Structure 1
Amino acid sequence: MNLYNPVFLVIDDHPMILTSYIRLLRENFLESTFYSSETIPKAIEYIDELPSIDMLIIDYNLAKNFDVNLRISDGQKLALYAQEKFPKAKIIMITGHEEALLIYSIHKKIRPDALLMKADVTDELLIETIRQCMIGQVFYSVGVKNVLSLLAKRQLMQQEQYIEILMLLDKGYKVQEICEIVFKSQSTVQRMLTTMKKEFGVSDLSELLKQVKLQGFI
């Protein structure tokens, strides 16, 4: 990336937060160029039209916005789109969510250069994060590290197939429907559910979901 006058694109649907980010960046990176967007469509417009972007700071929760054509409805999908256009750009994801599965999903699918919980973010932390990313370091905030550590204790939950089944269960899908969605036989899915129930020390699916939520996985 351009270390001397990088091009920033900052996306957050809260105007006050967006303004504070841009102010902070202008104070600390005097030679840089800054673009900002409160909406997904405007962010996509920048990504499509700008010749280069060196760093994107993206809030995960962009629920007020939706791009119908590209079906981009959150910061994670927007980050994936940006990575296709600018594979060398640094991605800093910020999320107000603390759910373990969501944090893990961002970590796994995007592999961002930095992942921060909004509760951890201070002016100093954000600037330090950017500087670390600029020299090629990966930076995760304390809250994110704690969540991923919790997941590491539950190695089973790091396997995407188990995560997907739990998410589908939480959305109300029946076991037979899940089998069709994940392209697995009913015996395979039942065996996986049995493994998860054993891991969480429960005997039925309702208790499994209850424990998963209590322990912060959903």
Structure 2
Amino acid sequence: MSENIRILMTDDHPLITEGYQNILLATKKEHQNLIIDVASNCDESLKYMNQAEALKRPYNVFFMDISLPASSDGKFNSGEDLAVYARKLFPEAKIVILTMFNEPYRIHHIIKNIAPEGFLIKSDLTSSELASAFQAVLSNPPFYSGSVNSFIRKAISDDIVLDEINRKILYLLSQGIKTKNLKEHIDLSMSAIEKRKKHLKTLFNVEDGNDENLLTEARNNGFI
């Protein structure tokens, strides 16, 4: 018996989405009928999702890149935002994240916010892995690529436990954001941020107060 599988792919590189489509169509099971829509930015993706919801023709699978042109109203700035919206609109759908980002903070944040059924780092990706991931998320999710699994294993086994805010502080510092500007990105007072930084230096045994040494230790422990 034929099974219709509605898919929305969102990526701003047409050659990439064309490649994804060709792989899925070439490796699908005989009873699977793939109906694929393609969006190249947040606005197009939102249009497809809202139309599908209005027509009561929900998507079964979403393939989402993280780095995307923002929506025209400024409310959606990434594939991560779109995935959160898709999860609310189509709670039964499977979400597959495909991204070049492989920083532990981003991986942790995406898993916590979205809990995707599939999570693939593009630098890991092969055609066979994409085909395997697609079938796995349909029947036996989750399917995570090697880099994601390595991060999860390290996070589970690591003795150092950081909450979301501390992870974000480390990530922002690693991106060159100065301590005095952190409060623009984190809803905390300057004194609270300084207190957290002091705690982080204690956790990572950084005694000289140098941010670069803190970042080095955080990298060595896989947190950024």
Distance in 2, matches of 1:180 and 1:54, equals 35
Q: Contact between 2:41 and 2:71, CA under 8 Å: does it hold in 1?
A: no
Q: Scaled by the length of structure 2, what TM-score is found?
A: 0.83
Q: Secondary structure at the match of 2:4?
A: coil
Q: Is the 8 A contact 1:93 1:112 kept in 2?
A: yes
Please name the residue that 2:24 is paired with. Answer: 25
Report the equivalent of 1:91. 95
Query: Displacement of 1:212 after TM fit?
Result: 2.9
Segment of structure 1 superposing worse, 134-143 or 190-199: 190-199
The question of whether the paired residues in 1 share the 8 Å contact of 2:43 and 2:72 is answered with no
CA contact (8 A) 2:105 2:168 kept: no
Question: Judging changes above 3 Å, is the alpha-carbon distance between structure 1 residues 20 and 180 closer, same or farther for their aligned structure 2 residues?
Answer: closer
In the TM superposition, residue 182 of structure 1 has moved relative to its aligned partner by: 3.5
Q: Which moved more, 1:208-217 or 1:96-105?
A: 208-217
Name the counterpart of 1:55. Answer: 61
2: distance between equivalents of 1:8 and 1:167?
33
Offset of 1:183 from its aligned partner?
4.2
Could you tell me which of 123, 133, 152 is aligned with 2:127? 123
**Is residue 67–residue 79 contact of structure 2 (8 Å, CA) maintained in 1?**
yes
- Residue 208 (structure 1) aligned with residue 214 (structure 2): yes
Q: How does 1:157-176 map to 2 (within 5 A)?
A: 157=162, 159-170=163-174, 171-174=177-180
Show CA shifts across 1:104-142 (max 9, x none).
111111100011111221111111111111114211111
Q: Which residue number corresponds to residue 143 of structure 2?
A: 139
Q: What SS class does the counterpart of residue 156 from structure 1 fall into?
A: coil
Which deviations, in whole Å up to 9, do the C-alpha atoms of 1:166-195 show, x marking residues without a partner? 3454522428x6499434683x55443333
Q: Deviations over 1:19-78 (max 9, x none)?
A: 11111122233512111112221111101101310000111122xx11132521111111
* CA RMSD of superposed structures (Å): 2.5
| 2:3 alignment partner, SS class | coil
Q: Is the 8 A contact 1:179 1:189 kept in 2?
A: no
Contact conserved, 2:95 with 2:118, CA < 8 A, in 1? yes
Q: Which residue of 2 aligns with 1:149?
A: 153
Structure 1 length as normaliser, TM-score? 0.85
